[in-house]
Structure 1
Amino acid sequence: MENMKKKMILGALAILMLLPVHAQIAWKQVEPGVWKGVVGTPEDYSLLDVAAVTPLKESFARLPEVALPALANEIVGSIQDGKTSLRIPLQKKEQLYGFGLNFQTVHQRGKILNLHVDHYGGKDNGRTHAPVPFYISSLGYGVFINSARYLTVYAGSGARKDSPNAPVVKDRNTDKTWTASPYSDAVSILVPAPGAEIYIFAGPTPMDVIRRYNLFCGGGTLPPRWGLGFTQRTQKLYTAEDVEKEADEFERQGYPLDFIGLEPGWQSKAYPCTLEWDEKRYTDPAGFVKTMLDKGIRINLWTNPYISPESEAYKEMYPVSGSHTVWCGIVPDLAGEKGRQLWKDKLEKEHINIGVSGYKIDEVDGYDRYVWPDVATFPSGISAEQMRQTYGLWVQRTTADLYKKRNQRTFGLVRASNGGSSSFPYVIYNDYYSHQDFITALINSGFSGVLWTPEVRGSKSAEEWLRRFQSVVFSPMAMINAWASGTKPWSFPEVAKQVKEYALLRMQMMPYWYTEFARYHFDGIPPFRAINLEPGFNPEQIITSELKTSNLEDNPYLEAIAKEIKDQYMAGEYLLVAPMFAGQTKRTVMLPKGNWYDFYTGKYVGNGERITVSPGLDRIPVFVKDGAIIPFMEATLHAPKAGQKINLEIRHYGKADGAYRLYDDDGETFDYEKGVYSWRNIKVTRDKKGRLHGTISKAEKGKPNSIATVTWKFMTQE
């Protein structure tokens, strides 16, 4: 009898252990407008720790004061079966953005996502290059989950039976409004760990939320000026002579070029990699790099981190690598200090010490069929899953540290990233090649603290070539990737003139691009971002036949995908870019509220309305806000060097007065972190006779001053 009682008690305890344990979340303010909550016992290894996040504290003072959002007290956390679930409430008219680098959708409400670092496979299902567990609400708050696990997100999907906002029951047999995706009033997130850290970022606007997130992660990256110039990636088996010849051809034909990317053939072995120069193709690597630097062109090296048995580093790296190989190469355990140091030592010895300016770090994302499996083990004790989620962060952090140590800025490419990476000097890319989806990814990058390039590779026609090239000019990295095709900017002679015009336009706009990246760093404002974040944007302008009688309660997923703008975006403070795609002769553009003007002519185009434009093949549609000030410089073939003076042409658009703060520093070092930078105030006002006049503040003594002369161009004629 006594044994039976004990068994009954033990059975009851076992059942209780299987039931969810609800946890009260206590919120602690960690920065102005940022609060941290803890559920259960979070794991020590996290995204923010790997990214080594250091908030840019002084910049928070420029954001509005805010209180903890009321919904914080409604967030429910519970632990069951060693896993943590979080439930964050939603309102009926609320839309969601973010959840990482999505390629096909901007609105995320109604989606089910498995946030998992992977090569993008053509579906927005959460498996992507940067599955950042951060989302922004249209109501002006954001949520970040600081976990290095594969997270499952129900972004307004799934309805609890006890919900106060439960969906209305409908009869499918007789009610045409029945839907298979009924209304859900919460975001539910499953974290496969016995605890989780959750951060709330307050607004009051969605843009303020994003700014706080970027500043919390150290501020956005500030690339060197040369990183914002033009780059060409050469074919994989080019020799030093081939590269020099191609650089000379750019110069001869008058196309700008700031850095060249060498693809796999620069290494003695690749897939896996030796990280060592091929002695036949590059007989004198140091001499080659110096020759290119003397031409004003920097060298960027492609690699993946998987070490070949033929590498001199293999033997020493072997004990501090993972249990499984990738393409028969060992995987350095970058979460362990020794493995990380050995990898850094190899890069420094072979490349950085001879003047290599940066990296393209490939294949740190997936696919599952070639990257290490989730059963792999690593000497550091970090699980294969956590390593998969953070390996892109590790390669960025370790290489960025090498250049930071030398007080030398870099700008490169990477195939995987995650939360906390805003300050890393890397742009994400992949092997996917949809022009339309590339633009959607560029839009979504601004929600997640990452950068994305809609790079140009091969094209089927001159039209496609030019359309793609026009897009990259208005993106974080103006790049042609010719590793397979060998294509050049002039490969399609019928549009070579237009391609050169846009390449030179990229250089002319260098003062604007550089200032906008400075704002990304100091103020957290993404340089390329969704139109949804523009104050004058009204989502109710977007009406489709499916949505004339629809709302989030009727069908949240239909609403999400049909009322989004995913083919136009803001570039910096003043420009609205609306790319054209091959086969298009016209397109519609949604203008936010306020007067807008044509970028090329200065003519008025509209105010808060839908317009149709037919720009012709020569133009990518770009529109400018009323009162906008865009600083230009002369069209040079290389970005200005430290201390080099430029002639500034300041363009003003529209009829309103204008103001702009122009940023300046040496363009190459981290001295700006010590205060060695300047902001010049530019103003355009009208005199008593209504004539426009421009002024620029004087350079401060002892501060950087790259301006030689200033001229003014008032683009909008009365």
Structure 2
Amino acid sequence: MKQTNYQLFDFLDFDPAMTGEESLWKACAPISLELDGFDVVFEIPFQKQKNANDIEPDKETPRKIYSLRMRAYGAKIIRLAIGFDEHAMTDSVMLDIHPELSVNPLRFEKTEDEWLIKDSTGMTRASLNRRPVAIDFWSDLVPGPEETLDLTFYPDGEKAVKVSAYDQFFPARHDAYALAVVEKDGQLDRTTMSFHADADEKFVGTGERFTKMDLSGQTFQLKNQDGQGVNNRRAYKNVPFLMSSRMYGIFMHTSAHGKLSMADHSTRSVQLLVEEPAMDVFLIGGDEPEEILKGYRQLTGFPTMLPKWSFGTWMSRMTYFSEEEVNEICNRLRKEDYPCDVIHLDTGWFRTDWLCEWKFNPERFPDPKRFVQNLRNDGYKVSLWQMPYIAAEAEQLAEARNKKYMCKVNEVKQQGGSNFSALDYAGTIDFTYPKAVEWYKGLLKELLDMGVVCIKTDFGEDIHMDAEYHGMSPDKLNNLYALLYQKAAYEITKEVTGDGIVWARAGWAGCQRYPLHWGGDSACSWDGLAGSLKGGLHIGLSGFGFWSHDVPGFHGVPNFMNSVIPDDLYVRWTQFGVFSSHLRYHGTSKREPYEYPAISGIVRNWLKLRYALIPYLMEQSEKTTQTGFPVLRALIFHHPKDKMCWHIDDQYYFGDDFMVAPVMNSENRRDVYLPDGEWVNLFSGKLTQGNCWLNNFECPLDEMPVWVKKGAQISVYPHHVSNTDEIDLAKTEKLVFAETYTGIENSILADLLK
């Protein structure tokens, strides 16, 4: 449909011809306020509007009364919920509310001009304006404003988050609605709510966005789908959470499809739309981004700590096909001194490439348990690829169909080759059905009992939509599916191995509880590198703590499978991987560093640096599991008042102390912004006073633009290892960035990096 530039059509999805059986019901001023337990409840009349772009109330149709419930959690979180045909506040698998986050009883005070809602400490958490609009009458050319919902919330008791009561040109021409519900074919269908946006307000989060840091002026669909790269508007990981530069967050608690518009359809409003007749929203206050993200995690769960071996190098390509091939690669990595912990087998370990049956090919892997154990004896852990779809040729098809472990599909398509999410499989495993979950866990348990340590929970962004599932409708399951899928794999992996871990691509609210996630199928290009970093920054601003990416990109350009990867791209992406929470080589062609002889020595040194930094990385990871910080952090986590940092999407903090600026071109130079503070260059030791730009900063291929906060004491392991089993954390030392630091070549890491 063509854009009309009117909110009713472009955001609320009305047919511009107004021929459909749809109507808008707009919230009016509340008529009562009551206590219900610890909550307060507003009784709000909704008035039907006439179907036209210039809307006006249909006063011949009686109003309908609905209840808006408000609850406070602690001192900095407010929950607002309205259910038009169901309960207003419901629990879901998305929520994992922390025990410390207790409900704070509310009460209210009424005056003629204002209703005040206060918590148990006497702090004001909301106010309803009942004052008449001030006027100086001189014309009746345009009628006065209609009734509206004029509410202001104070999530932390201080900062005001105001509902968009009067986002309009004149009373009949709205750019946003404070609160409204759409009726379709006689049934309540979708809900919208809006909050006021300041002229200079900026927004971040909403999932893994491959776009600029400040999201103001953009609208995003909250519908998971295969991103098919990292340079478009599609998203593997939508998260219905955003954070404002005014230091508040909004979490829309739903799995239904929806939209978030951040000062886009109207520069005066943040607009929420959910395709269900309910709205359940958490407003999260705080003084710093980390505090707001911690509040979000207190609602939806904290990431769990990952095992030490996971922070080492993961080696993979699409794909390894036999025990002989894997052994040859692993032996060569050891022989040529490339430290590595994980060997990942992608789509080729089955009977037929891409035909996921959760069983090793008996000809190419004749004794998989022995194969896995031999690798473990050499310090390698094995990770395996699979997917949540049942192929028409899979040996499990009949069982899955007969026992209803997969969805009931109304139309089965002919399966193709490598698929890439065309979703032409026979069905999707139904994780809303407990028996199907246990069946799936059983498939994985056989592999984990062999000694496999991690399951790659690939795909899961798309499900069969023309199908029936046990627990919910496909439109509600689509976004939530990733959480149910990853939860099952995570739980059985932790049960069998003791380590809670998956390697996942899709995501939704709550998925951060089941780390770790990677950024999907990026192109092997500078554009792919830049898009990957943007995605990593935004997913870190959406509650996720651990995130990785395919080094040096997943697919070739322009030949998807076979384009040659430039040496400098391989090195620069390796550097990015070293300073990410996890480092995995993967893609459609050769990924092993010895296949790039001209730069293999440079890569070897970078992998040794990675292993030297594992003690620091583990310290920062522990912090990630208890706070709102991700490992890879946007600059605004530490400099929220620096307006420049709200626009920088090509630099990041690696933990508390490193400032990392990847080179993303073949010219070996870039502009770098150093925020306030004193910064020591990791390689040269040169000290620079921050709050400045280093324009056209030159950096040779074997180095990277990395700075460390002056005075930082970085935990490092300055000893040679081939894998993390050889790291004795008791032998960790401190690399101190004081006046005595004159560069990495003169440091305690010098012998390791020769």
Structure 1 length normalisation: TM-score? 0.77
**2: CA distance between counterparts of 1:316 and 1:186?**
51
Residues 206, 328 of structure 1: alpha-carbon distance in 2 compared, 3 angstrom cutoff: closer
**1: CA distance between counterparts of 2:581 and 2:589?**
23
1:272-292 residue CA offsets vs partner (Å, 9 max, x unmatched):
421111111111111111111
Comparing 125-134 with 563-572, which one deviates more in the overlay? 125-134
Contact 2:98 2:298 in 1 (8 A): yes
2:408 paired residue number: 323
Corresponding residue to 2:664 among 556, 581, 596: 581
**2: CA distance between counterparts of 1:22 and 1:454?**
50
Contact 2:710 2:738 in 1 (8 A): yes
Matched, 1:276 2:370: no
Comparing 635-644 with 329-338, which one deviates more in the overlay? 635-644
1:453 paired residue number: 548
- Offset at 1:126? 5.5
2:238 paired residue number: 131
Corresponding residue to 1:112 among 200, 219, 222: 219
Corresponding residue to 1:340 among 410, 421, 437: 437
Contact 2:289 2:640 in 1 (8 A): no
1:679 paired residue number: none
Q: What is the identity percentage for the equivalent residue pairs of Structure 1 and Structure 2?
A: 21
- Offset at 1:643? 9.5
2:296 paired residue number: 213
**1: CA distance between counterparts of 2:62 and 2:280?**
21
2:118 paired residue number: none
- Offset at 1:625? 1.1
- Offset at 1:496? 1.0
Matched, 1:389 2:484: no
The one-letter amino acid paired with 1:30 is Y
Corresponding residue to 1:36 among 79, 83, 90: 79
Matched, 1:376 2:467: yes
- Offset at 1:206? 2.0
Structure 2 length normalisation: TM-score? 0.73
Residues 296, 52 of structure 1: alpha-carbon distance in 2 compared, 3 angstrom cutoff: farther
- Offset at 1:320? 3.0
Comparing 636-645 with 382-391, which one deviates more in the overlay? 636-645
**Mapping for residues 454-533 of structure 1, pairs under 5 Å:** 454-457=549-552, 460-482=565-587, 484-533=588-637
1:649 paired residue number: 733
**2: CA distance between counterparts of 1:24 and 1:43?**
11
Residues 47, 628 of structure 1: alpha-carbon distance in 2 compared, 3 angstrom cutoff: farther
1:297 paired residue number: 380
1:4 paired residue number: none
- Offset at 1:269? 3.6
Contact 1:587 1:614 in 2 (8 A): yes
Structure 1 residues not aligned, in runs of 5+: 1-10, 160-183, 543-562, 656-690, 693-710
- Offset at 1:250? 0.7
Give SS of 1:522's match. Answer: coil
The one-letter amino acid paired with 2:405 is V
The one-letter amino acid paired with 2:450 is I
2:676 paired residue number: 593
- Offset at 1:56? 6.5
1:548 paired residue number: none
Higher relative contact order (CA 8 A, sep 6+): 1
1:362 paired residue number: 458
- Offset at 1:27? 2.8
**1: CA distance between counterparts of 2:382 and 2:85?**
42
2:493 paired residue number: 403
Contact 1:268 1:276 in 2 (8 A): yes
Residues 307, 589 of structure 1: alpha-carbon distance in 2 compared, 3 angstrom cutoff: same
- Offset at 1:77? 3.0
The one-letter amino acid paired with 1:419 is A
**1: CA distance between counterparts of 2:88 and 2:368?**
39
**2: CA distance between counterparts of 1:643 and 1:579?**
28
Give SS of 1:57's match. Answer: coil
2:168 paired residue number: none
**2: CA distance between counterparts of 1:30 and 1:97?**
23
**1: CA distance between counterparts of 2:539 and 2:61?**
40
Corresponding residue to 1:153 among 257, 260, 268: 260
The one-letter amino acid paired with 1:242 is E
**1: CA distance between counterparts of 2:511 and 2:618?**
20
**1: CA distance between counterparts of 2:456 and 2:89?**
25
Residues 201, 96 of structure 1: alpha-carbon distance in 2 compared, 3 angstrom cutoff: same
The one-letter amino acid paired with 1:241 is E
Contact 1:48 1:419 in 2 (8 A): no
1:571 paired residue number: 654
1:307-341 residue CA offsets vs partner (Å, 9 max, x unmatched):
23554433332123213354333211111111111
**2: CA distance between counterparts of 1:510 and 1:595?**
24
1:191-225 residue CA offsets vs partner (Å, 9 max, x unmatched):
11111211111111222111222343322231111
Residues 353, 460 of structure 1: alpha-carbon distance in 2 compared, 3 angstrom cutoff: closer
Contact 2:316 2:591 in 1 (8 A): no
Give SS of 1:386's match. Answer: helix
Residues 643, 228 of structure 1: alpha-carbon distance in 2 compared, 3 angstrom cutoff: closer
**2: CA distance between counterparts of 1:335 and 1:190?**
25
1:170 paired residue number: none
Contact 2:567 2:599 in 1 (8 A): yes
Give SS of 2:383's match. Answer: strand
Contact 1:39 1:77 in 2 (8 A): no
Give SS of 1:476's match. Answer: coil
- Offset at 1:136? 0.5
Tell me which protein shows more helix as a share of its residues.
1
Contact 2:519 2:535 in 1 (8 A): no
The one-letter amino acid paired with 2:469 is F
**2: CA distance between counterparts of 1:20 and 1:91?**
32
Matched, 1:89 2:174: no
**1: CA distance between counterparts of 2:256 and 2:207?**
14
**2: CA distance between counterparts of 1:225 and 1:58?**
30
1:74 paired residue number: 163
**1: CA distance between counterparts of 2:101 and 2:180?**
36
2:638 paired residue number: 534
Give SS of 2:665's match. Answer: coil
Contact 1:25 1:77 in 2 (8 A): no
Contact 1:18 1:80 in 2 (8 A): no
**2: CA distance between counterparts of 1:227 and 1:233?**
14
Give SS of 1:299's match. Answer: strand
- Offset at 1:86? 1.0
Tell me the number of residue pairs that the alignment of Structure 1 and Structure 2 aligns. Answer: 594
- Offset at 1:462? 1.1
- Offset at 1:537? 6.1
Comparing 186-195 with 201-210, which one deviates more in the overlay? 201-210
**1: CA distance between counterparts of 2:684 and 2:584?**
27
Comparing 449-458 with 301-310, which one deviates more in the overlay? 449-458
- Offset at 1:346? 1.4
1:438 paired residue number: 532
Residues 138, 578 of structure 1: alpha-carbon distance in 2 compared, 3 angstrom cutoff: same
Contact 2:294 2:627 in 1 (8 A): yes
- Offset at 1:304? 0.9
Contact 1:269 1:308 in 2 (8 A): no
**2: CA distance between counterparts of 1:205 and 1:78?**
32
Contact 2:504 2:515 in 1 (8 A): no
